Amino acid sequence: MHKAITKIIIVGGGSAGWITAGLIAAEHNADNGQLSPSPKLDITLIESPDVAPIGVGEGTWPSMRSTLQKIGIDETTFLLHCDASFKQGSRFTNWQNQPHSQGHQSHSYVHPFSLPIGEPQFSIAPFWLAHQDQVCFADAVCQQNQISQLALAPKLITTPEFNFINNYGYHLNAAKFSQLLQQHCTEKLGVKHIVDHVMDIKIADQADQNGLQAGDINHVLTKHHGEISADLFIDCTGVKSLLLGETLGVPFICQKKVLFNDSALAVQVPYSDENSPIASCTHSTAQTNGWIWDIGLPTRRGIGHVYSSSHTSDEQALNQLIDYLTPALGKKAADINPRKLNIAPGHRQVCWQNNCVAIGMAAGFIEPLEASALALVEWTAKAVATQLPPTRETMNTIAERVNEQFQHHWQQIIEFLKLHYVTSNRTDSDYWHDHRQASSIPDALQQQLALWRHQVPSQQDFIYREMLFPAASYQFVLYGMQYDTQIPAQLKPSMKHKAQQLFTENSQRTQQLTQILPTNRALLNKLKINGFAKI
């Protein structure tokens, strides 16, 4: 029971497996990005030769910058190797109303990565309410709405790596990202890589001298390498959830009654011209029974239609995807052959059971909206890396703590994604009507929406520790969707003056940045020649 945790097996590769391997190795085995002479942990990643990566998880949050720094991958190498570009948020089009109906024009808003000006010391949102007829919320409080509309970059070539003028994450080629992580982890961080089939998983019947408890995973049996044992097993086997779900029997909690999307059609589309603008945001365009993502990389666009099979057919979804692509591809749009992806919206009851932790889709997945999947991979991997139990005896305490936060994160993800649907006024299908039915809306979200009729969302509205989405994210979505919050009856004159100064400062800063920032493509082209300066 007091034996130290020294050996870790990660089953499954892809972005989840290799991010996890990199973060744990960097935390325990590396010094300034270099492998320690006497590594503390023996880390092995076992990857099937037959399982191809899904390859559509192409959007990240700003947290990925610190993840890359921690692992020791420089930003220039990452951007060029992974065919990556800069992401400054998500743009939502036609979510509020269906276009061209009852006089409604196409409506869009942005959920940027930058906090409103003045945050977190000063909450400016209440002071915007009186001016909402003159200026949209995003334009009033940050620069990224206009920056992203112009496809501008978040920084200059002279800005050091990972630093920013406007906060940003990335769009990336998921397959190339996994390859880069694999190479770095095995060559620089001492992670062992085994390509083999896991044939069986052995559970300990009773406690043993190695510290295992009854019900723990003792070893995995591989086809060519035989039995491989460890103190801690990490399940990165995707939706199969081979260790946590199939072997340990941790229940899956389906969330389709809240968020209906269970299917997607994904396709990669070339640019019409090699100098075409690279979008600064993930574009999300609402459809009759779902929505279409559109992610711009330097060499192509990744596009997919997410939809509910309970509300539409695959054929109807394909036709809407073709309609979306026709302006760019013309008649060739009808020739696309997209990949069909099945989504089981939900998550495991816990992510850590006995001596096994599930990370990535093995722990759960809802839908691609707001690109929370890789962010949750990062969070869970960092939690394991920074809270690694010293012994098996202490593991249950750490697991309980991580599981509690895991459950809070899923609750917030579900409620925040649902927020996008329940604030819509679309009336063109049962899909949108059903999303607004009280029976499909979590009670906590219903209570928050009632509260936000009377006051602006604030951090005090949430009990979560380490919130994935800050209160500002709720403000950007609510007011992007033109949600109606009462204007406060009394605001201190001194605070009004402070707010007006910030509004003016933001406007001036926006005008300045639109003049000096290069486009995404221009900055990436410069990067090939110069590279970012090291921090």
**Three-class SS state of 297:** coil
Tell me: the pLDDT tens digits for 476-508? 999 999 999 999 988 898 999 999 999 999 999
pLDDT score recorded for residue 465: 73
Characterise 112 by phi-psi region: left (phi > 0), alpha (psi -120 to 50), beta (else). beta
Tell me: the pLDDT tens digits for 168-177? 999 999 999 9
Contacts of 110 (CB under 8 A, 6+ apart): 89, 90, 91, 92, 138, 144, 145, 148, 281, 476, 480
Where exactly are the structural domains of the chain?
A: 114-170+414-516
pLDDT score recorded for residue 435: 98
Average predicted confidence (pLDDT) for the chain: 94
Report the percent of the chain where pLDDT is more than 70.
Answer: 97
Tell me: the pLDDT tens digits for 253-305? 999 999 999 999 999 999 989 899 999 999 999 999 999 999 999 999 999 99
Tell me: the pLDDT tens digits for 16-47? 999 999 999 999 998 766 787 778 999 999 99
pLDDT score recorded for residue 171: 97
pLDDT score recorded for residue 489: 85
Go through the chain and tell me how many residues it has: 535
Q: How far apart are CA 453 and CA 448, in angstroms?
A: 9
pLDDT score recorded for residue 37: 78
Q: Tell me what the mean pLDDT of segment 425-442 comes to.
A: 97
Tell me: the pLDDT tens digits for 299-356? 999 999 999 999 999 999 999 999 999 999 999 999 999 999 999 999 999 999 999 9
Query: Is 2's pLDDT higher than 90?
Result: no
Least confident of 33-47, 181-195, 300-314, 519-533: 33-47
pLDDT score recorded for residue 464: 76
Q: Tell me what the mean pLDDT of segment 59-68 comes to.
A: 97
Q: How many CA atoms lie within 13 A of 511 on its CB side?
A: 5
Tell me: the pLDDT tens digits for 370-384? 999 999 999 999 999
Q: Which residue has the tokens 């929370």?
A: 372
Query: Is 14's pLDDT higher than 60?
Result: yes
Taking the CA atoms of 94, 95, 101 and 106 in sequence, report the sign of the dihedral they define.
negative
